[in-house]
């Protein structure tokens, strides 16, 4: 089962920093997740939230900031760590990446062109929030893997019909029936770990990893990559 570092892994360094991504890959993550947004001057940057407030302490939407303004921001959790553009990440060779596209439409086309110019098409999976964007990506390059960041478990059919490769399911959505339905389409299934008693999004129980692996789940998004790899390895060593 693949281990995907949710928000690039948040155990040691601030979320979605190059330092966090490099650490997760060093620990053995199969992919590191980063969220893509665009600045007001149409440059792809890394940020989970619509606003820069929680992460960087600036009460402004990312798409209202210029690239220069965005790159001047520092993480409020540790001021030593700066904000990043996608080019910063690419220049450091961080890969493979799951890029969670918080964009749609023409910006998806721009992102695809950006990745091609950077020779990064074969180093990424593109996660989209609108099923129509799957068609855009596949028309550009059918070999780029796509993932459905669905808002509802009932949405999977529209993504499947448009040629998506991977379906992301939240842990709280899981039923045997849903897993069987999605797997029967030929798509891979990745689980977004989320146990409210263990820290919420990005966290789950070791027994869940084992159960999902037995069920045919292909990947899981977790915050603590080292823990997840150890948990899976412990079971295999028994």
How far apart are the C-alpha atoms of 64 and 67, rounded to whole Å?
10
Instruction: Classify residue 86: in a domain, yes or no.
Output: no
How far apart are the C-alpha atoms of 185 and 156, rounded to whole Å?
10
| Partners of 195 in the β-ladder | 200
- Token couple for 38: 């665009």
User: Is the N-terminal amide bond of 96 cis, ω within 30° of 0?
Assistant: yes
Instruction: Classify residue 96: in a domain, yes or no.
Output: yes
Instruction: Classify residue 55: in a domain, yes or no.
Output: no
Predicted confidence at residue 236, as pLDDT, reads 57
How far apart are the C-alpha atoms of 142 and 234, rounded to whole Å?
37
How far apart are the C-alpha atoms of 116 and 144, rounded to whole Å?
11
Give me the DSSP letters along 107-167: HHHHHHHHHHHTT-GGGEEEEESSTHHHHHHHHH-TTSEEEEE-SSGGGHHHHHHTT-SEE
Instruction: Classify residue 72: in a domain, yes or no.
Output: no
Instruction: Classify residue 196: in a domain, yes or no.
Output: yes
Give the distance, in angstroms, between the CA of residue 2 and the centroid of all CA atoms in the same chain.
13
- Token couple for 142: 């059918």
Q: How many CB atoms lie within 10 A of CB 79?
A: 10
Our count of domains for the chain comes to: 1
| Domain at 229, CATH number | 3.20.20.190
Identify which of 117, 119, 114, 128 has the alpha carbon closest to the alpha carbon of residue 85: 114
Instruction: Classify residue 13: in a domain, yes or no.
Output: yes
pLDDT tens sequence for the chain (238 residues): 999 999 999 778 999 999 999 999 999 999 999 999 999 999 999 999 999 999 999 999 999 999 999 999 999 999 999 999 999 999 999 999 999 999 999 999 999 999 999 999 999 999 999 999 999 999 999 999 999 999 999 999 999 999 999 999 999 999 999 999 999 999 999 999 999 999 899 999 999 999 999 999 999 999 999 999 999 887 654 4
Residues with Cβ within 8 Å of residue 30, at least 6 apart in sequence: 2, 3, 4, 96, 219
DSSP H helical segments within the chain, as ranges? 18-27, 53-56, 67-71, 86-91, 106-117, 132-140, 156-161, 176-184, 206-215, 225-237
Identify which of 185, 164, 175 has the alpha carbon closest to the alpha carbon of residue 211: 175
Bridge-based pairing state of the strands 200-201 and 194-195: antiparallel
Instruction: Classify residue 58: in a domain, yes or no.
Output: no
Bridge-based pairing state of the strands 188-192 and 200-201: unpaired
Residues with Cβ within 8 Å of residue 187, at least 6 apart in sequence: 156, 160, 164, 165, 166, 167
Instruction: Classify residue 74: in a domain, yes or no.
Output: no
Predicted confidence at residue 238, as pLDDT, reads 45
Task: Supply the range of the domain harboring residue 140.
Answer: 2-38+92-237
């Amino acid at each position: 089962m693949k281990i995907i570092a949710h928000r690039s892994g948040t155990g040691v360094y601030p979320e979605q920093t190059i330092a966090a991504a490099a650490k997760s890959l060093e620990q053995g993550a199969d992919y590191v997740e980063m969220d893509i947004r665009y600045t007001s001057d149409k440059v792809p940057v890394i940020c989970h939230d619509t606003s820069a407030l929680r992460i960087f302490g600036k009460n402004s939407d990312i798409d209202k900031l210029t690239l220069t303004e965005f790159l001047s921001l520092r993480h409020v959790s540790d001021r030593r760590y700066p904000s990043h553009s996608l080019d910063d990440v690419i220049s450091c060779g961080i890969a493979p990446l799951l890029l969670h596209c918080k964009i749609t439409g023409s910006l998806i086309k721009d992102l695809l062109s950006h990745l091609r110019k950077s020779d990064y098409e074969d180093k990424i999976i593109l996660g989209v929030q609108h099923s129509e964007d799957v068609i855009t990506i596949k028309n550009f390059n059918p070999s780029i893997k796509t993932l459905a960041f669905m808002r509802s478990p009932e949405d999977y059919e529209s993504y499947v019909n448009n040629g998506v490769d991977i379906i992301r399911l939240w842990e709280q959505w899981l039923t045997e029936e849903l897993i069987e339905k999605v797997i029967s389409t030929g798509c891979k299934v990745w689980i977004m770990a989320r146990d409210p008693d263990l820290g919420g999004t990005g966290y789950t129980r070791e027994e869940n990893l084992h159960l999902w692996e037995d069920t045919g789940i292909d990947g899981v998004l977790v915050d603590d990559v080292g823990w997840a790899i150890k948990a899976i390895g412990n079971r295999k060593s028994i």
